[in-house]
Structure 1
Amino acid sequence: MNKISYIQQQPLALKRPYPQKPLFSVILKRIFRAMLCFFFLAWAQDAAARQFHSTLYTVNEGLPVTYVFCIYQDHYGFIWAGTPNGLSRFDGRRFVNYDMSHGLPSLRVDCVFQDSRHRLWVGTRYGMAQLLGERFKVYSTNDGAVINFVSAIWETSEGEIWAHTDVGVYRFHDSSWIKLSLFPGYHDRHCRMAVETTSGLVLCYPDCIVLSRKDRSWKMIERKPFGDPYYNRLVQHGGKVYVNTRRSLYQVKEDGLVSIVNHANGVGHFNYFIDSQNRLWNTSKGQENVIRISTPWNWEQEQSSLPAVYGQVNGIMEDRSGNIWMATQHGLLKLQETSYREVFREQDSVVDITASATLLHTGNILLSDGRRYRLLDRGTLKTSLLPERGDLVDHVAYDKKNTTWMLTRNVLLLQYKDGRVEDHSNLLESFAPNYFNSCIYDSLHGKLLITLDSILVEGDETGFRKIPLPSKLVSGPMNMQLSQAGGGRNLLFIPQQGLFELMPDNSFRLLLSYPQREYVSIYSNAGMDGSIWMAVQGRGLKEYLFNEKGTLKLVDSVSRKEGLQGNLVTSMATDRKGRHWVQTPSGLDLLWKNEAGRWTVYNYSKARGLRSNSWDLGKVLADGDGLIWSSTLNNLLMIEAATVEMNIMPVSVVIEAIYAGADGRKLQALGTGGAGYFDLPNKPSLRYGDNTIKINFAGLAYTDNPDIKYSYKLEPIHANWTTGSNNESVTFVDLGAGSYTFSVRARDGAAPWSEVAQCSFQIMRPVWQEWWFITSILLFVAILGYRFYAFRMQQMKQLMAMRTRISRDLHDDIGATLSGIYLYSHLTHQQIRNSQQVEAEASLKTIQESSLEMADRLNDIVWVVNPDNDDLSKLMKRLKEYTVGIATVKQITTVMKLDTEVEKIKLSMLARKNIYLLFKEAINNAVKYSNCHSLHFMVGMQNKELEFVLEDDGEGFNEIEVIKGNGLNNMEKRAEEMGAELMINSGSGKGTTITLHLRIT
């Protein structure tokens, strides 16, 4: 961006430094000033002229085109610029451009307006449009007229939005523009603007000014003949109405127009603006291109004028910070009023002579670049009575004899007296100095104190003597620093020791112990409140005050963390308001105390757009009459400190967009009551899956090179504000259900924090946290628990029934068998006693068979009860062992097949017992009674049921003729007991097939 400071080249007011002077000398100087008052009257008038620092924004900074039609600042603080190539939004750092791809009906934008509902309206060469989010929406007119120009959009006191076009005036109503009839005969004419007054509505047509009274009557205030300069811009300010033509500015009254400003040479263009100081800005284009600025409240008296180097000025505006903005032919121009004057600039012939600037006791400035001296006397550079060869002055002191003592870089002791610079270096030859550290004037003894190398000396024009230092305080070459506190107290800082007071008897009293190995400078005269400042290399400033014991205590510190542009302080001075001016290699800062009593930093050089790569080569000085002087390698600034007010305007901060969900869906109100033209929804409710939230925000600052930091908090998660950072977005992940309020604030450098921008949203609870879902789950668990309980009870009943059956079987079968064994045992005993050998052997055989049968049944019961045998493969294996065992004896071929898909099916104990015993009995019958040659047993799955099939090729039987015995009845009972279906197919000579179907649950 292009930057120019408009400088009025006039003599400067050079002031005297702080030291007190004899009364007689002061009286003589005042008389001399009074005598010269007349001669400097013209200069004084020029000095009142204001200076402005300018910044020009063009396509290089992001504008879509250099030419700017109009300019506007909205309620948020954004600067809008209408151009022939679209619309631009500016936040002080970057431009956001809109064109027809964003919905603009035309690229040529002539006016911008934001209403009380924060809706943004633009007027283009093809009608009006409203910005919603990132797109413009165009509303139709009720008469279908083709609009080629919109001169103004504004809001009436009743909240209606009016648009003034080349084909008439329209009112926005219910998503369309309604044509208004304001003045008879002018229904389709161009009314450039209207303002509301106590008398009615003042209408500005190109050829007339009309008052439309509240009783619907009209009054022609002024009419111009065709061809005369047309009426252009109608403005209301301070309860008065003004209008301009191409050459003049008028006040509008009911009885006519009153001329205020008339520029006969402005034949082509005329524009005007009234700022917050009630100054009139007017620009003209014709034989002369100039921007004129009046004095406050007196528009006929010109205070300043600036060359209109940027061509035609199409619009003028003042932002909230007091900057003046102009829409010009060559770009967007920003003007900042300055409180300083650049004595020299790079294009002057005195480049590079300000490396050393020394304020003399006379109020003049002695300049040097190390090769030559120049004296700045009332704005004029002089070389007379000065040595031909110059040197850089590092330290200065003022005595009571109206002379200035100076110590130079090349170890020279100089004295400025009576307009001459005298060399007194020979007074120090006996000490063979290598370098000077500091000097002060001891007013109590009338002596000059100097630290050189590692010694301290005192003296005057007659000679110098060494002041002995205690041996424990001296350890080789040191950078000792002299300074003075209030009441003429002389201070000496000794590195790695501390700060001492030099007492009248030349003894030393410790004020502050400081053993650190750091380079330190002392600015004790910088504090009008008695404070002493210590500049620590690379660590900023520390402030100390005297305590009750007369020693020093640390009360505050200021560094880059608090807003200083750099931590290396090269010089420091105090103005009459007790504010401290601090110069670092990065620029000039101003320290002032806020309401809380803490030092606040204002980056003066940065805010004023002052740039230099040699701030570290100069110094800042304060004279006795309120001026601050700041030097760099090629410039010297004179700052009117009294006019520098610390009403630092905080930046604005705006929430621009909210995104939700992992996919980053942008939340928009879609014109249903969103927050301004960003179209942010009002406290949206988001589903739980959208609990990742990203928020974009922007700070608005119109200083040069703003350094905006943001601090935010998300309530109720954050109780305190986060540490400031430059990030302009923040993302929150995996937010829990609940209501949230996001707050963000911003600051530019060390300026105060802005007002807070907020947005609220709600994360809905997930389904599993809803009351109905929780109730359903509890009900389901209860039902499930009940079913499980019922199932367990059923199992226990079945188990009990099984146990009962087993007991019954044991009692019936085993008991009967045991009883038979007992009877046969008794019978066998009798038979043996009766020597019935054959009968006894038969009885013993019966006992043996009964015992084997009982053991077999016990084995079956034990196998059934064992839970390890619950799968189908184990059942199949046991049946196979049994079948092979009895079929082999009769040479019967057996085939047993188990499908792999049912091998691991688990069977209950009840099913296991009944299936096993059912088919054991069936196999036993087939082997013993069917006379079969082969036996097939297959197990598989059929229609989600277990299918057991036993086939033999024996004689079979007729089911109708055969009376069911115990075997068949037992088989049917076992099938019924486990809920299975039993089918027996048999016929004489056809074999037998037994099929069992069991449903698996």
Structure 2
Amino acid sequence: MIRFFLFCICLFPQILYANNGFSFRYVDMPLALRDGNIKRTVADRKGILWFSTSDGLNRYDGNHVLHFDLVSKPNIVNNNITTLFPGKDDVLWVGTTNGITKFDLRSWTTQHFLLPDQNGNARRLFVRDICEDPKGRVYICTDDAMIYTIEKGELKLVMDLSKVQTPSKGQASLNGVFMPYPGELWALLRGRLLRLKGEGLDYKVEDWYEMPTIKGNISRSVYFSNSGDVLFFAEKSGLYHFHIPSGHLAKVGTEADSGVHKNRDHFIPINDTLVGILANRVGVYTYNVKTRQLGPLMEDIAGNFARNRVMTTYSADGKTYLTSSNGIMVMEASRSPFRNILERSINETNLQSIRSIYQVNANKLYLGSYRDGFLQYNLETSERTIIMNKFVYSMLRWDDNRLLLATEGDGLQWLDTRTDKVTKLAIDTTQALYQSGALNDFTVSLCRESDSTVWVGSYFGVCLLNVYTGKATIPWQSAAGKPLNRSRVFDIYASGRLRFFSSMEGAFVYDTENGRLEQLLMHMPGGYSMLSIYFIRKVGQEYWLGTNGRGLLVLNERLELMREKNTSNGLAGNAAFSFSQVGVNVFIGTNLGLTALNLQNQREKNYYTIDHLPSNEFNHSATFTYGNIVYLGTINGITSFNVNDLQQYRASKQQTNFSFTSFILGNSHGLQQLDNLPYQPLQQLEVPAGTRYFSIRFGSIDDALAQQTFYYRLHETDSWQEIGRYREISFAGIQPGYYNLQVATSLPGENIFHILAAMPLHILPNFYDTWWFRLACVLCIPLIAFLVFRYRVKQMKKEQKLRTQIAGDLHDEVGSTLTRIYFQADLFSMRSNDKASFQQIASASKDALGLMSDLVWSIDARFDTAHDLVARLRDYVTNLQDELETDCTLEIAGNFENRELSQATRQNFFLIFKEAINNAARYSTGCPIKITLQFCDHIQLSVQNNYDATHQKMKNYQGGQGLQYMQIRAAKMKGDLRVDANGQVFIVKLSAPF
């Protein structure tokens, strides 16, 4: 039992290959590169392609192309690239005809290495090949038989192989260098293998393998296995197997294996024991290095090489990249059950759109192609033979040796399957149906009715044709036939006595017993009757209709609609083009993928290009079943599968190489693009403060994602946002914070989102949006208020000090002077006879002294209180009564103790008060002057006196110019002054803020 288990383990890789083989696809290159001469290609650890063209180096991520040359940033040392090698730590080595460039993908910088001559000038350095040891040291071989390495940023010579003495004479050409085993450098010197042993700069020749039985030089493509087995191709002898430990040399295959011996080979690693051998313009063989047996030609992919010459190959991570005249191709071991025929790159404009299929025997397949016309395809050799350039829409088996063909533009044709000869079916052109156009040369569908008659669907209806007489009839004359006879008929299906016609104008059914023709779904609302119908098939006790827009319509035996099946309940697409059935398994080809339905367990499964279908879009009626094999025509060749294999197939959970490839910032400095994003070991991507907008590009060279719809979201709780097939997400006005950008795809007919990649984002805020700035602002408000308060207090103290100083100076200087004048004048008045003059001097001085006293009081900061104002007003009223003998009453109300007044309010209020009292005393008629002073939220003053209303002059004077000055003073302290002169009473009212 254990031996059997071990045997199964050893045999498993071979079984895996035999059952499933390789998948083969073209890389969808941009339009500008489709016709370019791509020379070499490699893939970095992110699966991003780097390739050389005649004008330099290119990077392609499945979305955008970046070009590097002598003047780009960064640049390369020379545009003539001879080799590319992806090294450790995301370094790409670019060998050229004159120098080598080290491209650091993480820092996005390049460093160039040239050889200096004796004078310090750069001399020619033609790089042939590059390899790397396990420690990351690179070895470079040049065309002058030198091996160099790079140490401390400089080129160092390891060995000059031109001085190595070998039995082979001639020029010491060095075409390749390899590091298959630790401590061993292998080189292709003079067309033979040379083994060196050592480390670093110290290598010595260990073995020279002369191999005198081999004719011609060994090519650069050499395969080393872990077991010490070497495969190589000799230009004039073919393929050889060399075992290093024993020195045994043997030719692989026999002369019958002409594909291996006559074509330049490339090796495709599969596993430790199995290797693929690619023979140009033939296909791929397999070879087991342990059993030393050459496998047969791999039929699954042989046809893909029939028109291409592979120039270079590169293998990594189970994938092999091939450059050819048609661009870049990718091969990888696959467990897909789908075998694709005539598949082309999806970027080619002239695809193999297949509309009809018929298999005669195990190897012979007839195809109707839009591009090549009608052709015969050999399933064993992958050879194609074009039979005629006419496009064949349908093929109907008539007998053992003949097929009836429905062509577009050339009517019906007979095909002899023994000779592949085509002859036109004779039609009676004199009959009315032919003259009216009902029978025409643009035929689409066929369905046999009897030994001599066949239903023929065309661009303009359907008719029943006798293939021997060439006469056609339409067996009905009902009005329902009018829309049918002006429509293209896609398919005709016979079920018992009923004949179903699927057309662009809907579905029609003809009852052969009663001769009635009816249009299906005619009376249903919602436009069901006008749907284009591609097929009608009976499944059990139901009829299934494939529509353009509503998926499948399911009718009962009474032809009544029962239910629908579309993308909302499991169908891959809403345009159901083709139908195939094998037992309980039904296969529906749609516009967005293939749906497999199991009638027994009512389960469905959808398949897409991600499962290695050649295209997601199928063609109507392009189906054929050969035993357990189903053939389906697509717009990009044919896919076929064994029903049993499909049921056992489980899609691989391995994700495709999918990366965020570029980061673009837009700010005040312009646009900044960071293309080294895939190689950065970032925990999160930071968006700098002040960024106006930014965008993130993503990509993959996997064609399986080329036709997928992408979605993104910034939080796991957010709903997915659709961005279509565009591979760039742009953001503007995003609030600062932490986000987790996720990109996903959702397959048609499914509500499940498959996350492809995620990138944490941190959008940095502007400094004025940060919490610490806002906190600082909050803390600064009381600080600023305190500083303003301190400043105001300081200014007020300064002002008070100044006012006090001025008041003191006025009092001391001016007051003393006026007092002295007063006393002198008074003294002179007693000594002189002119008493009147001296008396006037004394009176004026006394008045000046009073005015000065009032002014000093008004600006003295020590009296800035309401209490001092009231005291001053009382003194003034008392003095006025004594001097003028005028009766005054002063009433004071409200609380005024300990309440401060500004200097401006105190001064202007006092001056208005004096003016109002003086005017009232001067023009009063003898009645007491009534003064009211009230303190509340304002200071309210009222001065009331009686006056003679008949004396117009006095009335005008009391309310005249003096009032104007009082109004000005009231405005200075933001107060309000009014005059009321009614009857015999004159009132001055003042209200000032307290």
> What TM-score comes out, normalization by structure 2 length?
0.58
Output the CA distance in 1 between the equivalents of 2:876 and 2:719.
86
Whole-angstrom CA distance in 1 between matches of 2:735 and 2:112? 42
1:326 is matched with which residue?
Answer: 323
Shift of the alpha carbon at 1:107?
A: 0.9
Alignment of 1:355-754 (within 5 A): 355-358=393-396, 365-369=403-407, 371-375=411-415, 377=417, 380-381=420-421, 392=443, 394=445, 396=447, 406-409=454-457, 412-413=463-464, 434=481, 448-450=497-499, 457-458=511-512, 465-466=513-514, 478-480=518-520, 494-496=521-523, 516-519=528-531, 521=533, 525=537, 533-542=544-553, 554=563, 556-558=565-567, 564=573, 569-574=576-581, 578=585, 580-582=587-589, 590-592=594-596, 599-600=605-606, 602=608, 608=614, 619-628=622-631, 630=633, 639=640, 652-663=657-668, 675-676=677-678, 683=684, 685-690=686-691, 692-702=693-703, 706-707=706-707, 709-715=709-715, 719-745=718-744
1:642-679 Cα offsets, whole Å, 9 max, x none, are 68888599764432321224347566789xxx6456x6
Cα 1:128–1:576 shift into 2, 3 Å: farther
| Aligned equivalents of 1:650, 1:596: Cα separation in 2 | 29
Residue 100 of structure 2 is aligned to residue 100 of structure 1: no
Residues 221 and 256 of structure 1 are in contact (CA less than 8 Å); yes or no, is this contact kept in structure 2? Answer: no
Residue equivalent to 2:340: 338
SS of the equivalent of 1:812 reads helix
In structure 2, the CA distance between the partners of 1:580 and 1:147, relative to structure 1 (3 Å rule), is farther
1:246 aligns with 2:229: no
How far is 1:809 from its partner? 0.5
User: 1:815 aligns to what SS in structure 2?
Assistant: helix
Query: Does 1:140 pair with 2:113?
Result: yes
Residues 324 and 730 of structure 1, relative CA distance in 2, 3 Å threshold: closer
CA drift of 1:808 comes to 1.8
CA RMSD of aligned residues (A): 6.5
SS in structure 2 opposite 1:690?
Answer: coil
TM-aligned CA distance change 1:260 to 1:867, over 3 Å: farther
Residue 361 of structure 2 corresponds to none
Partners of 1:604 and 1:541 in 2: how far apart? 24
> Who is 2:359 aligned against?
none
Gaps of 5+ in 1: 1-47, 285-289, 459-464, 468-475, 481-493, 498-512, 826-844, 869-883, 890-895, 897-902, 911-1001
Distance in 2 between residues matched to 1:515 and 1:853, nearest whole Å: 110
Q: Once the two structures are superposed, what CA deviation does each residue of 1:701-752 show, in whole Å capped at 9, x if it has no partner?
A: 347x944543222247x72332141333222122222233333346899999
Separation of aligned partners in 1, 2:77 and 2:412: 66
Contact 1:221–1:257 (CA under 8 A) maintained in structure 2:
no
Q: Report the alpha carbon displacement of residue 793 of structure 1 after superposing the two structures with TM.
A: 8.8
Match of 1:274 in 2: 268
Q: Indicate how the Cα distance of structure 1 residues 693 and 650 shifts in structure 2: closer, same or farther if over 3 A, else same.
A: same
The SS at the match of 1:757 is strand
CA distance in 1, matches of 2:115, 2:925: 112
Asked if the contact 1:221–1:255 (Cα under 8 Å) also holds between the matched residues in 2, the reply is: no
Q: Structure 1 residues 339, 363: CA separation in 2 closer, same or farther (over 3 Å shift)? A: farther
Cα distance, 1:689 vs. partner?
1.3
Q: 2:220 and 2:659 mapped to 1: Cα distance? A: 35
Partner Cα distance (2:879, 2:929) in 1: 15
Q: Distance in 2 between matches of 1:736 and 1:605?
A: 40
Change (3 A) 1:217 1:558: same
- Please report how far the alpha carbon of residue 583 of structure 1 lies from its aligned counterpart in structure 2 after TM superposition: 6.7
After superposition, give the CA deviation of every residue in 1:917-950 in whole Å (9 maximum; x if it has no partner). xxxxxxxxxxxxxxxxxxxxxxxxxxxxxxxxxx
Deviation for aligned residue 1:327: 4.0
Distance 1:414-1:769 versus aligned 2 partners, 3 A rule = closer
| Offset, 1:229 | 1.9
Conserved 8 A contact 2:239-2:261: no
Structure 2 counterpart SS, 1:89: strand
Shift in Å at residue 105 of structure 1?
0.7
8 Å contact from structure 1 (residues 366, 374) kept in 2: yes
**1: CA distance, partners of 2:267 / 2:969:** 96
Mapped contact 1:123–1:152 kept (Cα < 8 A) = yes
User: Which shows bigger deviation, 743-752 or 349-358?
Assistant: 743-752
Give the alignment's TM-score, normalised by structure 1: 0.57
Q: Secondary structure at the match of 1:293?
A: strand
DSSP 3-state at the match of 1:478 = strand
For 1:750-788, what per-residue CA distance to the aligned partner results, in whole angstroms no more than 9, with x for missing partners? 999776334444233332344553454334321333456
Summarize the Cα distance change of 1:456–1:808 in structure 2 as closer, same or farther, 3 Å threshold. same
Match of residue 101, structure 2, among 88, 112, 129: 129
State the match for 1:984 in structure 2. Answer: none
Change beyond 3 A, Cα 1:83–1:255: farther
Q: Name which of 217, 220, 233 aligns with 1:232.
A: 220
| Counterpart AA for 1:299 | L
Amino acid at match of 1:343: L
SS at match of 1:780: helix
Unaligned runs of 5+ in 2: 1-18, 166-171, 333-338, 343-364, 375-385, 430-438, 502-506, 801-860, 889-917, 942-956, 976-994
Distance in 2 between the 1:282 and 1:168 partners?
A: 30
The question of 1:294 aligning with 2:285 is answered yes
Going from structure 1 to structure 2, the CA distance change for 1:422 and 1:622 (only over 3 Å counts) comes to farther
- For residues 76-132 of structure 1, give each alpha carbon's deviation from its aligned partner in whole angstroms, at most 9, with x where no partner exists: 333333234312334567754332222111111122233343333322222222345
CA distance in 1, matches of 2:637, 2:453: 22
Tell me: CA distance 1:571–1:338, structure 2 relative to 1, closer, same or farther (3 Å): closer
C-alpha separation between the residues in 2 aligned to 1:732 and 1:271?
50
Q: Secondary structure at the match of 2:42?
A: strand
Deviation at 1:806, TM superposition (A): 0.8
Aligned length: 738
Q: Which amino acid in structure 1 is aligned with residue 498 of structure 2?
A: L
Q: 2:82 aligns with which of 97, 107, 110?
A: 110
Q: Which moved more, 1:114-123 or 1:310-319?
A: 310-319
Aligned equivalent of 1:82: 52
Instruction: Return the alpha-carbon distance in structure 2 between the equivalents of residues 189 and 800 of structure 1.
Output: 113
SS at match of 1:192: strand
In 1, the alpha carbon distance for the partners of 2:109 and 2:919 equals: 110
- Match of 2:667, SS state, is coil
Partners of 2:340 and 2:639 within 8 A in 1: no
* Residue identity matched to 1:766: N
SS in 1 for 2:724: coil
Seq. identity, %: 12
Give the secondary structure class of the aligned counterpart of 2:874: helix
CA offset at residue 803 of structure 1?
Answer: 1.2
